[in-house]
Amino acid sequence: MRNIFNFKSIKSKIIAAFSVVILLVFLLGIYNYTAIKQINQDTTNIIENDLQQLIANKGMETTMANRISTARGYILSGETNLKERFNEYTEQGMQFEELARSVGVTEEFDDLVDKTVAWRTAIADDVFEVYENGNQMEAVENLNELTPIVREIMNGFEELAAHSEEEINQHGERIIDNGEQTLAIVVIASTLILILSIASALITAGVITKPIKTVMQRMKLIAGGDLSQENLQTNARDEIGQLVDAANEMANNTRDLLTQINSVSETVTNQSEELTQAANEVKAGSDQVAITMQELATGSETQATSASDLASIMGTFTAKVQEVNDNGERVQEYSNEVLDMTNKGSDAMIATTEQMSKIDRIVQGTVAKVEGLDEQSQQISNLVSMIKDIADQTNLLALNAAIEAARAGEHGKGFAVVADEVRKLAEQVAVSVKDITGIVMNIQSETSAVVESLKDGYTEVELGTDQIRTTGKTFHEINESISKMAENINMVSGNLADIAANTKEMNESIAEIASISEEAAAGVEQTSASTQQTSGAMDEVAGSSEQLSKLAEELNGLVRRFKL
């Protein structure tokens, strides 16, 4: 896991962590769109093709039954309204034929239509015309001869209707299977995306906050004066890794500097004590200057040499203090860079939240499309109701035909057979309507299940958005921690600045001592004539030695604040 998140910047870590989640959500949206589009295509095919074909075939079958019954009733009773009904049923058959051709027909359908046209022509020429010429018995015989053709045509349309019904059942089953598959995949994918989002957020926050907290604790120890800790270890190559390296470098340089300061401070203390003692001795023995002139000259030269060496050491020490101070400023710059990166991370979290809002709108759009699918299913129910009305009307016509056959007596037997066939056909239509109603209700049920599933997915997206907002709060806490760490670094830099200022004053004092020592060595040759000047110079040396001793004590006090 560390190798996966071992990027060169914090921004890369954040983008890598959340790009996976966004990609998975995007792929889920594409899958939902494809699945719903397929369901819509299947439903449209049922409504615009299969169902229309079924209605046309059933309508052609029904109009054929109605026409044979009205034709028989006309030649038996002579009522002209029955002939008008025959013509009306003929027009209805043409309308059903146009409906079938609008969605595409087969060769079997064309053959049946041709037979229907031929039968209609035969009815007009051999039945109606013969009957109107006064030959009722011949018309009845001709009608009976045409009855097998009617049965063949009706059976053909019935077979076509059964085929259309079978295709509707197949499409309905496929829609149900697709709906169940889509529901399962959406639930599983939404759960996995939620788990992955939470895990990614926790891992990313841990990878970023853990080393920062470690550096912050180390800065607190350094600010408290504890420099005895081992260097921090890290494999990170990003800004946090640079921050850890800079903190280690600052701690090492500060430790070396304070060690040198401690050594120089002890040297300065010893030299100042010796210098004070020498100055007091020179002052007490001013009356014996002539006797101890050579010794004083030697001591002055030694003192000048020691002061020069000390000045050289203090110059090196001042350079080290300045170097450590510069390192402290660089650490502060790195801290500011990390703070900027954290702010960018917060901006990235805001952008991710906006992306989740877009996904939210996509899911809402998907719910609306599935609800539109439910409305189309309602239209199917309306069409099925229309078919049921046609079946009821056909059954009523069969009843009327049976009554007319009973009135006709012996001549109405063939008419009664046709009426019975019409009644059976109406019952078959009612059964088909019931089956289709069951299929439509299953489609509506599955559509409702898909709607509920999409709503669940919408809830999961909201949970993912809340988790991203929680991660944004974590980045805010990281920002506050880095700000506190910057304050500790500023405190360390302030202490180093104080050390640099004291070191500068100490260097000036040592230079002043060196100058006085040189003047004392030069004035040895004139000691006899200037004893008072020498005594006054020794007073200045004693005062400078005391001042140097005080500065050394202050420097020791600053060094003792740190634990090496």
Most confident of 1-10, 53-62, 206-215, 471-480: 53-62
Question: Torsion angle of alpha carbons 251, 253, 254, 255, nearest 10°?
Answer: 80
Q: Residue 226's beta-bridge partner residues?
A: 563
Return phi, psi of residue 135, to 5°. Answer: -100, 80
Reported as a single tens digit per residue, the pLDDT across 251-295 is 778 777 777 777 776 776 777 677 677 667 756 766 675 566 577
Looking at residue 247, its amino acid is A
Reported as a single tens digit per residue, the pLDDT across 86-106 is 999 999 999 999 998 988 888
pLDDT value, residue 429: 66
Q: Is the separation of the CB atoms in 412 and 404 below 8 Å?
A: yes
pLDDT value, residue 142: 94
Which of the 8 DSSP states describes residue 4? T
> Cβ contacts of residue 245 below 8 Å, gap of 6+?
234
Q: Buried b vs exposed e over 129-143: b needs ≥16 C-beta within 10 Å?
A: ebbeeeeeeebbebb
pLDDT value, residue 63: 95
The Cα 79–Cα 73 span in angstroms is 8
Q: What pLDDT band is residue 345 in, cutting at 50, 70 and 90? A: low
Q: What pLDDT band is residue 359 in, cutting at 50, 70 and 90? A: low
pLDDT value, residue 91: 95
- Over pLDDT 90: what percentage of the chain? 18
The SS3 call for residue 232 is coil
pLDDT value, residue 524: 54
The 3 state secondary structure assigned to 502-564 is HHHHHHHHHHHHHHHHHHHHHHHHHCCCCHHHHHHHHHHHHHHHHHHHHHHHHHHHHHHCCEC
Q: What pLDDT band is residue 346 in, cutting at 50, 70 and 90? A: low
- Over pLDDT 70: what percentage of the chain? 71
Reported as a single tens digit per residue, the pLDDT across 426-460 is 677 677 767 767 876 776 777 777 667 767 766 87
> Cβ contacts of residue 159 below 8 Å, gap of 6+?
108
- Given a cut of 80, is residue 187 above it in pLDDT? yes
Structure tokens at 177: 């299977």
| Angle at alpha carbon of residue 472, lines to 470 and 474, rounded to 5° | 75
Reported as a single tens digit per residue, the pLDDT across 315-333 is 786 777 677 667 767 766 7
Domains of the chain by residue range:
227-344+484-560
Furthest-apart CA atoms within the chain: distance in Å:
182
Q: What pLDDT band is residue 84 in, cutting at 50, 70 and 90? A: very high
pLDDT value, residue 279: 60
pLDDT value, residue 116: 94
The Cα 264–Cα 420 span in angstroms is 127
- Given a cut of 90, is residue 81 above it in pLDDT? yes
| Angle at alpha carbon of residue 501, lines to 510 and 546, rounded to 5° | 40
pLDDT value, residue 231: 83
Structure tokens at 183: 């529901």
Reported as a single tens digit per residue, the pLDDT across 105-156 is 889 999 999 999 999 999 999 999 999 998 999 999 999 999 999 999 999 9
- Given a cut of 60, is residue 513 above it in pLDDT? no
Question: What is this structure's pTM?
Answer: 0.40
471-to-152, 214, 435, 467 alpha-carbon distances in Å: 75, 20, 54, 6
pLDDT value, residue 111: 93
CA proximity to 247, closest of 216, 207, 224, 205: 216
Kindly tell me the number of DSSP H helices and DSSP E strands found in the chain: 10, 0
pLDDT value, residue 350: 74
Average pLDDT, the chain: 77
